[in-house]
Structure 1
Amino acid sequence: MNPLISIIIPSYNREKLISETLDSVLEQTYSNWECIIIDDRSTDGTNVILKEYSNRDNRFITIAKPLEFKQGASVSKNLGLQIARGEYIQFLDSDDILAKNKLAKQIDSLKNENEKVISVCITSTFKQINDDIILDYDRKDYRNFNNSESYFDIIGEMGGYYAPESFLISRALVNFSGYWNENLTLNDDGEFFFRIIYNSSKIIFNKDTFVRHREKTSNNLSMLNSFQKATSLLNSWKIIEILYKTKYNKLNSKYLDKKKWAVYNELKRTYPILIKQNNFFFYNQKKKDNLLYKFNKLKRRVKARLKIIFKY
């Protein structure tokens, strides 16, 4: 089994970091790959670097995004999918790093599996390329899952998610699940990979390889710096909830509850109008939040009364 793997990288103004990412692609022990880099009309020297790599190795395919396509990573990834010839797909951000054996180990784990089986691996976070590689094997989701529901149950307990670059997935599963949602400007990766996991028949965890995810200055939820992004986050979870409830016959879901509480608390802090406009979606959160508020208010009154009593 030696199928072609298409590595898809969206890029915008990455002249200082993208060489590290592309070098990790060049160093792969598995050689049957193509790397499609979609440059989102960068204004720095990114395009010069991309041309150098394309000239060095014809497996690198650089595409300057045409003006008729709107900017954004999801649009770039979909454009990459339209061009990709591979039987398997590896998405990769333009500042992250693949271990040398990443593609080899994961394609080997999929060789006897059907097209709906996905492979994931450990994620190590870093800031600078020379940082120590720290691999945490103790996460509860670092194991095989025979169905998607079991995975979501675990995430409902521990939170988190597999990093997007840790996946190796078949092109057939992408086609079945659908392309990236270009209407989402935040949590587009969460919504896309939910659909991938949701439609998978099995998850194979590979402990013998890893990816390095560069730490960003902010996490996703703290990036709600516009009403559009806040709305996108909300809409992504509306889509996820509908799909989840359609497939899994559960009255209560720790997975949905944990994720919706995170969204609710952030919107309450930043754009509370969205909670007011979506009372039905946040019904349980608002109900529990109101009860908690009343309880804490009563507790403060009791404490104040006790202070007065014991003062005398």
Structure 2
Amino acid sequence: MNHSLVSIIIPSFNREGLLSEALDSVLGQTYANWECIVIDDRSTDGTNTFLREYSKKDGRFIIISKPEEFRRGASVSRNLGLQIARGEYIQFLDSDDILSDDKLEKQIYTLKNEDKKVISVCITSNFKEKKDAVIFDSDRKDFRDFNNPEEYFGVISEFGGYYPPESFLISKELIDFSGHWNENLTLNDDGEFFFRIIHNSNKILFNNDTFVRHRQNTGDNLSMLNSFQKANSLLNSWKIIEILYNTKYNASNSKYLDKKKWAVYNELKRTYPILIKENKLFFFNQKKRDNFLFKLDKLKKRVNLRLKNIFKY
């Protein structure tokens, strides 16, 4: 059995009411060789006091109060955690999510004979309250192994996005090779980070024998463009992703990039159209398709009007 140290990194801000559920799930792990680094992002409620008290239960908890010279934000907190982490493997966990008791044990076993560029992911169960039933979506097409990143990107181009952060178990070596979290992004920082991780991986191994519980929020990334800064961050994240994708694959033939950029284009068109105007080259194909669909819609309306007039008599 591989007894590698796992560093669990939890960023937290004003989560006094939910943190115990996440920390209890860490404390209950059947795999014992872990350290849990919780970075309190200068919370204004009782989070820090709660963390100090909770950490007395077990010396494997490391509580960090983010110094004033560090910017606020989850990406900054995670990077601070990575600087401190001593583990061979990294488990990211949001402060309101939950790990199943055997999550680390099962994934460490999966990776025991693999090189450090192999990722393990597991089943995700979405929930709102801890008492909610644990329900799995057995039809998800990404709930399987992938032999290479391109195969994975092809599958998720058809139906959705990445696994949630807590689903992954990743070697520190792969994270250091791929680069840490981009602290300049205020939206889709997780999408951009995990793209780099998957992009640089050799394969993805899926654990169907363990799970994480991912707390559902009311909105998603595209519905959170409530500021120009966030909209610009979303745009920049996809510029980075496209550049990196092109280093291995042909972006012009990618269904994955085409679908994702189309979704971003339509949201920016609705919220901050100036960003489309300022990034004509990046959105060239999307603008071309949009113009075609606009003309097609006008043509359909004309034809329908003529048919209506014909059958009126």
TM > 0.5 fold call: yes
Query: Is 1:112 the equivalent of 2:129?
Result: no
Say how many residue pairs are matched. 312
| Aligned match of 2:204 | 203
Aligned pairs for 1:178-189 (under 5 A) are 178-189=179-190
Unmatched 5+ residue regions in structure 1? none
Counterpart of 1:173 in 2: which secondary structure? Answer: helix
Distance in 2 between the 1:218 and 1:3 partners? 37
Counterpart of 1:121 in 2: which secondary structure? Answer: strand
| Aligned match of 2:262 | 261
| Aligned match of 2:39 | 38
CA drift at 1:217 = 1.9
| Aligned match of 2:98 | 97
CA drift at 1:251 = 3.5
| Aligned match of 1:85 | 86
Residue pair 1:101, 1:209 contacting (<8 A) in 2 also: yes
Distance in 2 between the 1:48 and 1:60 partners? 14
Unmatched 5+ residue regions in structure 2? none
Counterpart of 1:247 in 2: which secondary structure? Answer: coil
Question: Could you give the per-residue CA deviations for residues 89-120 of structure 1, whole angstroms, max 9, x where no partner exists?
Answer: 00000000000000000000000000000100
| Aligned match of 1:144 | 145
Distance in 2 between the 1:251 and 1:10 partners? 37
| Aligned match of 2:284 | 283
Distance in 1 between the 2:229 and 2:6 partners? 34
Query: Is 1:194 the equivalent of 2:195?
Result: yes
Distance in 1 between the 2:159 and 2:226 partners? 27
Distance in 2 between the 1:217 and 1:73 partners? 19
TM-score, structure 1 normalization: 0.98
CA drift at 1:23 = 0.5
Counterpart of 2:253 in 1: which secondary structure? Answer: coil
Counterpart of 2:247 in 1: which secondary structure? Answer: helix
| Aligned match of 1:245 | 246
| Aligned match of 2:163 | 162
Pair 262,250 (structure 1): closer, same or farther in 2 beyond 3 Å: closer
Distance in 2 between the 1:248 and 1:279 partners? 22
Question: Could you give the per-residue CA deviations for residues 180-213 of structure 1, whole angstroms, max 9, x where no partner exists?
Answer: 0000000000000000000001110000001000
Question: Could you give the per-residue CA deviations for residues 126-147 of structure 1, whole angstroms, max 9, x where no partner exists?
Answer: 0000000001222111111111
Query: Is 1:219 the equivalent of 2:220?
Result: yes
Q: Which 4+ runs in 1 deviate beyond 3 A?
A: none
CA drift at 1:159 = 2.3
Counterpart of 2:23 in 1: which secondary structure? Answer: helix
CA drift at 1:160 = 2.1
Distance in 2 between the 1:217 and 1:299 partners? 36
Counterpart of 2:152 in 1: which secondary structure? Answer: helix
Residue pair 1:159, 1:258 contacting (<8 A) in 2 also: no
* 2:74 counterpart letter in structure 1: A
CA drift at 1:170 = 0.3
Counterpart of 1:225 in 2: which secondary structure? Answer: coil
CA drift at 1:36 = 0.3
* 2:173 counterpart letter in structure 1: A
CA drift at 1:250 = 5.3
